A = this chain, B = another copy of it.
Amino acid sequence: MGNRVRIKDIATKVGVSTALVSYVLNGKEKEKRVGNELVKKIREAAIELNYQPNQIARSLRNGSTKTIGLIVADIAIPFFGQLARVIEDEAAKSGYTLILGSSDEDANKQNSLINTLSHRQVDGLIIVPADGTCNQIANLQKRGMPIVLMDRYFPELNVSHVCLNNYQASYEAVGHLIKKGFQQIGMIAYQSGMIHMRERIGGYRKAMETANLSEYIKVIEIPYHFTRIQTEKTIEQFLDDNKEIEALLFATNSLTTAGLNFINKKGIKVPDQMGIVGYDGNEAFDFFYAPITIVEQPLAEIGTKSVNVLTDLISDPTKIIKYDLSHFLNIRNSSS
């Protein structure tokens, strides 16, 4: 872009050195005791010439880009889009801009995103880590990059994170179903070694055990890359194989959507023939004919905390903080 005007042009025009211009334009005229007359002249010249600072040059000189890299699984998924928005706004408050990447839960993609972003000298990274990327994160941290893990983390690593307390969330979700009178409760989860999924399943198991329903524990884990059709087929098979199931806990929003779709097609009545609790509600459930209980995450809190933990980390690399936030149990209901 024809961003021709440099600090030097202003300096020449006013007849001073570039140092003076830099002081004034950065608001250090008091500190540096620049003459009032000159301050005014420099300001005017800057406006007249329509000076636009070159942040790249500034970054190179300062060693800080005022930039945060955000790596999510997929920005097209509303959960991550909403999170990104909160992060964007919170980051802007501290003068940071977002550079974005989607990993598709793929370790290789995540790796190349991390490389791209760190070459661009982002000041820090907020990452929703993909399965099997523990080493990537460990290496990155070792090289001194400030990192906050979001939505999931690696328990074996001492890295800052902001996540949901998934264990507790599932535990209470199942408790809710049990209180409603369901006993044969199954769970539809994703196939993933990541802590968030393990804890969602773990909380379910624990709740069943606590209620003396261990014998009814039934979990199916669906691969992330399954299509909608494949997912519905798998759920169908699961229910065919376990006809005694009275209620289902879905581990993510997209699984809930696929599940409800399937239930709709089959004409299974909710909640009479099947009790339902799902993670991460969205407006879609408002249109479902029956109220759906939802494990809702505190999105705004997750986003703002992630940014704040990161900026703290940037100014003090030893300040590692870990949040496991609480969920809400909400009811999505078309008549509310």
Contact = CB atoms under 8 A, between A and B. Distances in A.
A145 B52 CA distance: 13
A160 to B, nearest CB: 15
B120 A56 contact: yes
Interface stretch (A8-16, A99-107, A129-137): A99-107
Contact of A119 (B53, B60, B88, B99): B53
A311 to B, nearest CB: 15
Nearest to A119: B55
Nearest to A260: B287
Interface in A47-78: 52-57, 59-60, 65, 67, 74-78
Given A77-B81, A81-B81, A100 B102 contact: no
A336 to B, nearest CB: 9
* Identical subunits present: 2
A227 interface: no
B76 A84 contact: yes
A78 B286 CA distance: 17
A335 B265 contact: yes
Contacts of A289: 287, 289
A119 B287 contact: no
A264 interface: yes
Interface stretch (A149-157, A208-216, A277-285): A277-285
A234 interface: no
Most chain B Cβ neighbours within 10 Å, of A52, A74, A143, A287? A287
A283 B228 CA distance: 12
A60 B59 CA distance: 10
A334 B140 CA distance: 45
A257 interface: yes
A16 to B, nearest CB: 23
A321 to B, nearest CB: 19
Contacts of A99: 97-100
Interface of A: 1-3, 52-57, 59-60, 65, 67, 74-78, 80-82, 84-85, 88-89, 97-102, 115-121, 143-146, 257, 260-261, 264-265, 282-289, 334-335
Given A75-B84, A75-B85, 14 more contacts: A2-B143, A56-B59, A56-B120, A76-B82, A80-B81, A81-B81, A88-B102, A97-B120, A98-B99, A257-B283, A264-B334, A285-B287, A287-B287, A287-B288
